[in-house]
Amino acid sequence: MKNSLRPRTVKLLKRFITPLTDEGLITVVEEKVILSNLKHLAEKGELKPIIPPKLIDQKEAASMLGIGHSNFKKLESEGQFPFKRKMVGSAVRYRNTDIMEFIMNDE
């Protein structure tokens, strides 16, 4: 039998986890990671892939999205992406994990 988790179970677990966050026993970031993985597991039948976080430039971001660099710049300037740019000195960088989250999100 395929490893399955019902969306209803994820909602129930969220109700158990939220008070732990409110009491400071787990951090908000931990709560988000746990719930995000549970939701992905319920929808896709597998956990999200583990990606070591790093900052990437526009060309790498475009490559991850499977689009050209100029198209990426155009779409980014139009505000089409939910992820934000980070300035490192004068260089524009993006979190690869934010881009992967965008890719994995079906909404």
CB atoms within 10 A of CB 38: 19
Domain boundaries, the chain: 7-44, 55-104
So what's the pLDDT on residue 3? Answer: 57
So what's the pLDDT on residue 1? Answer: 42
**Ranges in the chain, pLDDT < 50:** 1
So what's the pLDDT on residue 73? Answer: 95
* DSSP-H helix ranges across the chain: 7-22, 28-44, 58-65, 69-77, 96-104
So what's the pLDDT on residue 80? Answer: 93
Q: Which of 102, 100, 98, 7 lies closest to 45, judged by CA?
A: 7
